[in-house]
């Protein structure tokens, strides 16, 4: 069996479906806006894309080239604001609430309540919490394994603030950059990751 | 107890169970369904919707006082056997690609002469407020049980609907940057304990698409594909998708075509 045949056979057996028409729809944003209506805080402007969303949409689920990766990470790293007082770590107990809360910004949510970070939707964190998702890597023992070196804290802060600063086209929301979480909430969730007393590190 | 009464008490019991299931996700989707079957066996309250749908299908209504038995779902007037497995499809008379739900709206307004506002008043039922569209969808979909999904994409407009659906599937937007692909393009992933189907492969799309419409235990309601899409878009933090819009039908076409060849097994039971 020649190798190109084998590759084709493999693709046919397990690969994603071959697209029927790969042509992108010309003005998709306008088409979408015509098919949606505002629903409470979920308004039509949410269908507009920023540069990162546009680039990542074009890529679909392909891995970006190194050139594109650099472009995206550079652009997003520039948005990251360190905490105003220079302190990365807040209160881990408040952070646990942020990590466990899934509501916020949905049309069905109360806009008067603080948004959640929903970290548990995608990450394993405290070893005692079994209801965790797997879209992201396990963060169990995060601080215990990594310590609190300033560079380690700055990297984790950047990931929470804007995941695309290091992970281009990440599936993780850009919590600070997109205004999902407040600075205080991000500090609290950082403490949840790093504090020695946090359940994440037990 | 009559069939109706038996199901009414079953639905009441399910709603109670559903309330406990919708509390913090402590069970996987599979565990929740296993628990349901342990308590209720193979009974599916969707049958209650099917029965109501059958009655609505056969009763003369609207200004023309005709039933839906002359409604053409693509296989000729009145043919429902296997019709759902071949939708969405292009319809000559409307000049549109339509899914089952939008086609039903066409038949109820054009054929029966029911006012559109009335037909669309309750798209998704909520307890006392019953949806006719959900009931008829359940009835028609049940008549495709065992049929293979057949979406040939012969017509140019069907190809265009697929392409639109595919583009929307990968479109990242909103405060969280989510696309359908964020949650549905890898296999074996979960959100909390809910298993996420991989909808970009035929295996994953078949497993998902063949089981909708479905009786949702957590809601005590029968839900259609249009509902499923709207609820995922809500989690995606996007605005309200218009029922029967080209985007709703495009996404449905994308899923149906990816599920081509799958054997319909709806209405099913979902958490």
Q: What is the 3-state secondary structure (H, E, C) of chain A?
A: CCHHHHHHHHHHHHCCCCCCCCCCCCCHHHHHHHHEECECCECHHHHCCCHHHHHHHHHCCCCCCHHHHHHHHHHHHCCCCCCCCCCCCCCHHHHHHHHHCCCCCCCCCCCCCCCCCCHHHHCCCCCCCCCCCCCCCCCCCHHHHHCCCHHHHHHHHHHHHCHHHCCCCCCCCCCCCCCCCCHHHHHHHHHHHHCCCCHHHC
Minimal Cα distance from A49: which residue of B?
B173
The percentage of chain A sitting over the pLDDT mark of 70, rounded to a whole number, equals: 88
Query: Rounded mean pLDDT of B136-145?
Result: 98
More confident residue, B189 or B25: B189
pLDDT value of residue B34 = 80
Domains of chain B and CATH, by start: 3-142 (1.10.760.10), 156-270 (1.10.760.10)
| CB < 8 Å to A171, chain B | 182
pLDDT value of residue B7 = 52
B236, pLDDT greater than 60: yes
**Candidate ranges A24-33, A179-188, B30-39; pick with highest mean pLDDT:** A179-188
Q: Does the distance separating the beta carbons of B176 and A173 come in below 8 Å? A: yes
B24, pLDDT greater than 60: no
Give the number of A-B residue pairs with CB atoms closer than 8 Å: 143
Q: Which two tokens stand for residue B106?
A: 């066409």
Minimal Cα distance from A43: which residue of B?
B239
Looking only at the bridges linking them, the beta strands covering B194-195 and B190-191 are antiparallel
A189, pLDDT greater than 60: yes
B38, pLDDT greater than 80: no
CA distance A165 to chain B (A): 14
Query: Rounded mean pLDDT of B4-14?
Result: 49
Question: In the 3-class helix/strand/coil scheme, how is chain B assigned residue by residue?
Answer: CCHHHHHHHHHHHHHHHHHHHCCCCCCCHHHHHHHHHHHHCCCCCHHHHHHHHHHHHHCCECCCCECHHHCECCCCECCCCCCHHHCCEEECCCCEEECHHHHHHHHHHHHCCCCHHHHCCCCCCECCECCHHHHHHHHHHHCCCCCECCCCCCCHHHHHHHHHHHHHHCCCECCCCECHHHHHCCCCCEECCEECCCCCCHHHHHHHHCCCCEEECCCCEEECHHHHHHHHHHHCCCCEECCCCHHHHHHHHHHHHHCCCCECCCCEEEC
Q: Does the distance separating the beta carbons of B181 and A135 come in below 8 Å? A: no
Alpha-carbon gap, residue A81 to A83, rounded angstroms: 6
What value does the mean pLDDT of chain B take?
Answer: 91
Residue B4: band (very low, low, confident or very high) from pLDDT cuts 50, 70, 90: low
List, in order, residues 6 or more apart from B271 with CB less than 8 Å away: B21, B29, B32, B33, B194, B216, B217, B218
Residue B256: band (very low, low, confident or very high) from pLDDT cuts 50, 70, 90: very high
Alpha-carbon gap, residue B245 to B102, rounded angstroms: 8
Minimal Cα distance from A54: which residue of B?
B172
pLDDT value of residue B21 = 37
What value does the mean pLDDT of chain A take?
Answer: 90
Residue A6: band (very low, low, confident or very high) from pLDDT cuts 50, 70, 90: very low
pLDDT value of residue A63 = 85
Q: Does the distance separating the beta carbons of A180 and B164 come in below 8 Å? A: no
More confident residue, A15 or B11: B11
A116-134 pLDDT, tens per residue? 999 999 999 999 999 999 9
| Prediction pTM value | 0.92
List, in order, residues 6 or more apart from A146 with CB less than 8 Å away: A152, A194
In total, chain B counts a number of residues equal to 271
Nearest-by-Cβ selection for B257 from A20, A106, A131:
A20
The percentage of chain B sitting over the pLDDT mark of 70, rounded to a whole number, equals: 90
Q: Which two tokens stand for residue B268?
A: 């099913």
CA distance B13 to chain A (A): 26
CA distance B200 to chain A (A): 6
B17, pLDDT greater than 50: no
Domains of chain A and CATH, by start: 3-48 (no CATH), 92-201 (1.10.760.10)
A89-104 pLDDT, tens per residue? 999 999 999 999 999 9
More confident residue, A63 or A197: A197
| CB < 8 Å to A179, chain B | 175
Catalytic residue numbers of B? 232
CA distance A89 to chain B (A): 24
Residue B271: band (very low, low, confident or very high) from pLDDT cuts 50, 70, 90: confident
| CB < 8 Å to A37, chain B | 239-240, 242
pLDDT value of residue A61 = 76
Nearest-by-Cβ selection for A42 from B177, B237, B247:
B237
Residue A24: band (very low, low, confident or very high) from pLDDT cuts 50, 70, 90: low
Nearest-by-Cβ selection for B189 from A37, A134, A178:
A134
């Amino acid at each position: 069996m020649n190798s190109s045949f084998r590759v084709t056979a493999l693709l046919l057996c397990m690969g994603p479906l071959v697209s029927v028409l790969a042509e992108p729809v010309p003005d998709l944003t306008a088409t979408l806006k015509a098919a949606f209506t505002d629903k409470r805080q979920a308004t039509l402007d949410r269908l507009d894309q920023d540069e990162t969303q546009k680039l990542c949409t074009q890529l679909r689920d392909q891995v970006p080239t190194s050139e594109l990766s650099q472009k995206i990470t550079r652009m997003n790293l520039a948005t990251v604001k360190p905490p105003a007082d220079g302190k990365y770590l807040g209160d881990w107990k408040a952070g646990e609430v942020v990590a466990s809360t899934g509501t916020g910004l949905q049309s069905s949510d109360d806009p008067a309540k603080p948004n959640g970070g929903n970290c548990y939707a995608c990450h394993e964190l405290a070893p005692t919490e079994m209801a965790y998702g797997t879209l992201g890597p396990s963060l169990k023992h995060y601080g215990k394994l990594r310590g609190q070196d300033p560079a380690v804290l700055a990297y984790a802060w950047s990931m929470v603030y804007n995941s695309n600063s290091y992970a281009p086209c990440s599936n993780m929301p850009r919590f600070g950059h997109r205004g999902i979480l407040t600075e205080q909430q991000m500090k609290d969730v950082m403490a949840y990751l790093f504090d020695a007393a946090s359940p994440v590190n037990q | 107890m009559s069939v109706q009464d038996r199901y009414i008490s079953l639905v009441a019991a399910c709603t109670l169970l559903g309330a406990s299931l919708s509390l913090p996700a402590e069970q996987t989707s599979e565990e929740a369904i296993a628990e349901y079957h342990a308590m209720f066996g193979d009974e599916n309250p969707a049958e209650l919707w099917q029965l109501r749908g059958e009655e609505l299908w056969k009763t003369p209504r609207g200004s023309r006082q005709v039933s839906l038995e002359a409604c053409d779902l693509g296989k000729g007037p009145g043919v429902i056997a296997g019709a759902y497995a071949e939708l969405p499809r292009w319809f000559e008379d409307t000049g549109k690609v339509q899914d089952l739900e939008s086609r039903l709206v066409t038949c109820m307004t054009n054929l029966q002469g029911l006012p559109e506002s009335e037909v669309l008043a309750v798209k998704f039922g909520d307890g006392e407020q019953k949806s006719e569209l959900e009931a008829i969808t359940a009835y028609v979909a049940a008549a495709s049980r065992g049929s293979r999904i057949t979406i040939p994409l012969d017509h140019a407009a069907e190809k265009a609907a697929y392409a639109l659906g595919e583009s929307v599937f990968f479109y990242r937007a909103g405060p969280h940057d989510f696309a359908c692909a964020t949650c549905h393009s890898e296999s074996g992933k979960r959100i909390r304990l809910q298993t996420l189907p991989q909808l970009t492969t035929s295996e994953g799309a078949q497993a998902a698409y063949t089981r909708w419409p479905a009786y949702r235990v957590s809601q005590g309601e029968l839900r259609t594909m249009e509902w499923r899409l709207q609820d995922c878009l809500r989690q995606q933090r996007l605005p309200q998708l218009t029922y029967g819009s080209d985007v709703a039908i495009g996404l449905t076409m994308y899923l149906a075509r990816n599920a081509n060849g799958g054997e319909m097994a709806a209405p099913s039971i979902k958490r």
